Chain A
Amino acid sequence: MSENILEVCGIHTYIGQFHILEGVTFSVPKGSITVLLGRNGAGKTTTLKSILGITPPREGKIVFDGQDLAGKPSFKIAQLGIGYVPEHRAIFRDLTVAENLQIAERRKGDLAARQDFIFELFPDLKKHYRLAGGKLSGGQQQMLAIARALVPQNRLLLIDEPSEGLAPIIIEALMHAIRRLSESATVLLVEQNFRMASRLADRYVIVDDGASVQSGLMADLTNDQATIQRYLGAA
């Protein structure tokens, strides 16, 4: 197996007084699509936020591309080359599509360099370039949120529930886009839609009750109905 771009070792994260993550450990091989699976409230989103330093872990270690992320503020972590597509999209609704993309530039010219790739993946964004983000459809907002993470040359993309609340045809388009962008970046995905996850990801990590309980190759999991039933409650 190729080397790991991300190593998460035994992290414990608290939100206020609540102990949300109680030992999450996994690694993400460079160039892979790895999916975090688990029930609602298992701690998947908090795991992504812990990696990015939004909810920094109190214990454990996170290493991105050889660098320990402990104590770094989230903007510094992002600058290392991590893009974040949060759940519920979190696009800036009052900003135009163009401004939503411009704000993601880390260096002048980032957007100009990546614009063709972004518009090829999501032609709708070109069509609505001057429209306020809040006026886009749900699917288009999700595309904008992903496109925003593509503006700088990120090496790792954290994508949280991209299929949430979207029609099947839009989900297909998003899956195609995620496959394309995984050619140039590693993807760590959180996804409730097991069908989508199993078709997209090479590797999986199951998070249950704040702890990672199992990980491995996606191909092995799809044949393991007992595990799917036990932790995900769906096939």
Chain B
Amino acid sequence: MTGIFASDKRGSLIAVGAILIGLLLFSLLTTGDLNLLGTEGFGAYLGTINGGDFSITLLSGLLRGMLLFLVAAGLSIVFGLMDVLNFAQGGYFMIGAYIAYEVHHAPAIIAAVPDGNLRFLLGAMLAVAVGAALGAALERGLLRPLYARPLFQLVITFGVSILLLEATKLLWGVSPRSWSTVFGLNEGAFQLFGQQFSVYRLFVIAVGFGLIVAVALLLQRTRIGIIIRAGVQDSQMVEALGINVRAVFTAVFTLGCAVAALGGAVAAPFLGASLGLSTEFLLGAVAAVVLGGLGSYEGTAVASLLVGITQAVIAKFGVQYLNQPVWESLSPMILLALVLLLRPSGLFGKE
């Protein structure tokens, strides 16, 4: 069984470092005026490297990584503890985005709460509440009767993801919503090597980091954290100690869905709300969970960031040099395949 916070980490860190250095070098090389057939010499090429492009690419990667983490964290802990791969996790992210969008743009709510920042906060809180309620309902109502049949659970979560998608279509239609109103945090921008980057995106990165640390502290320092980590190794033994493991399952599952919905809510101001978010973030998050090592929390956190940065770097390269944006969506799976060839148990997973 894979363990959260495994102790043997040297190999994992070397692998992470190698990928990160590879990505940074690739990013650095492709943010210059790359001319593979050129004859100007490497020195001339280095002079063309654009620090602004480079740093914005990395920040975008970090931002995407944080959003992926918000979906992947629940996926990873729930899988480790309950052996359930929750295919509906992307759906919760999407629902969160729609709720945040709706609260921010509905005329009645604008009239009642004119302050944009406050509306955003309300939207995020409602998204978390709805995510938690739907998560608890899924676990209690549909998954709990099926713990003896893991395959059925997989099918159920897949079915729920379709249900969420269809319900969203029914409520909001099929056309994507783009965030049109501006609010406090979302207005600010700062300069980095001559390029603009929004303060809000930095705020989302900070929220992501905050959650990585908060969940790590929860797992390491609290009784429920000890129970979760023990449950990842042997949930039957935890129950034999007199602990109601099913209640812990429900709590963890609920929290995972709430965090995914929060991810959607904070992503909405720049990604908008669309049906595609569900699959897009689920795939990236599944890649991150497997890449990090199934059931390993720290692996998931690190891999989410790696996948995010990879996507940003490849997106830039794909658009700028190949005119093929499709490479961006393929890149998590390519990275995953390459890593699994070398480390079949993922970056932080154990055999």
Residues of chain A having any CB pair with chain B under 8 Å? 52, 54, 73-75, 78-79, 84, 86, 90, 92-95, 99-100, 102-104, 106, 132, 134-135, 148, 152
Contact = CB atoms under 8 A, between A and B. Distances in A.
A174 to B, nearest CB: 19
A86 B238 CA distance: 12
Given A94-B5, A102-B223, A75 B230 contact: no
Query: What are the 3 closest A-B residue pairs judged by CB atoms, nearest first?
Result: A78-B242, A94-B3, A92-B230
B239 interface: yes
A97 B335 CA distance: 37
Contact of B242 (A54, A106, A134): A106
Nearest to A149: B241
Contacts of B237: 86, 90, 92
B7 A102 contact: no
Residue of A73, A86, A93, A102 ringed by the most chain B CB atoms within 10 A: A93
Contacts of B165: none
Contacts of B246: 73
B242 A92 contact: no
A52 B240 contact: yes
Contacts of A106: 242
Contacts of B4: 94
Contacts of A86: 237, 240
Nearest to B236: A54
A215 B240 CA distance: 27
B226 A74 contact: no
Given A75-B245, A102-B223, A132-B7, A54 B240 contact: yes
14 contacts: A74-B239, A75-B241, A75-B244, A84-B240, A86-B240, A90-B234, A94-B3, A94-B4, A94-B6, A94-B7, A94-B233, A103-B226, A106-B242, A152-B242
Contact of B238 (A52, A103, A135): A103
A88 to B, nearest CB: 10
Interface string B278-312: 00000000000000000000000000000000000
Contacts of A78: 239-242
B229 interface: yes
B150 to A, nearest CB: 15
B234 to A, nearest CB: 6
Contact of A103 (B3, B5, B7, B227): B227
A148 B236 CA distance: 15
The DSSP consensus for interface residues of chain B is helix
A154 to B, nearest CB: 9
Contact of B241 (A94, A95, A103, A134): A103
B46 interface: no
B226 A99 contact: yes
Nearest to A104: B241
Q: Please indicate which of the listed interface residues A92, A100, A134, A148 has the most CB atoms of chain B within 10 Å of its own CB.
A: A92
Contacts of A94: 3-7, 229, 233
Given A95-B226, A103-B227, A75 B3 contact: no
A84 B240 CA distance: 7
B243 interface: yes
Nearest to B237: A90
Contact of B3 (A54, A79, A93, A100): A93
A102 B226 contact: yes
A95 B242 contact: no
Contacts of B241: 75, 78, 84, 103-104, 148
B233 A75 contact: no
Nearest to B242: A78
B303 to A, nearest CB: 19
Contacts of B7: 94, 132, 134-135
Interface in B1-27: 3-7
A74 B241 CA distance: 9
Indicate the member of A54, A74, A79, A106 with the most B CB atoms within 10 Å: A74
Interface in B230-258: 230, 233-234, 236-246
A79 B236 contact: no
A153 to B, nearest CB: 12
A75 B243 contact: yes
A92 B240 contact: no
B260 to A, nearest CB: 26
Nearest to B233: A92
A106 B227 CA distance: 12
A19 B5 CA distance: 40
B19 to A, nearest CB: 24
Contacts of B238: 103
Contacts of A135: 7
Contacts of A93: 3, 233
A102 B5 CA distance: 18
Given A93-B3, A94-B5, A75 B226 contact: no
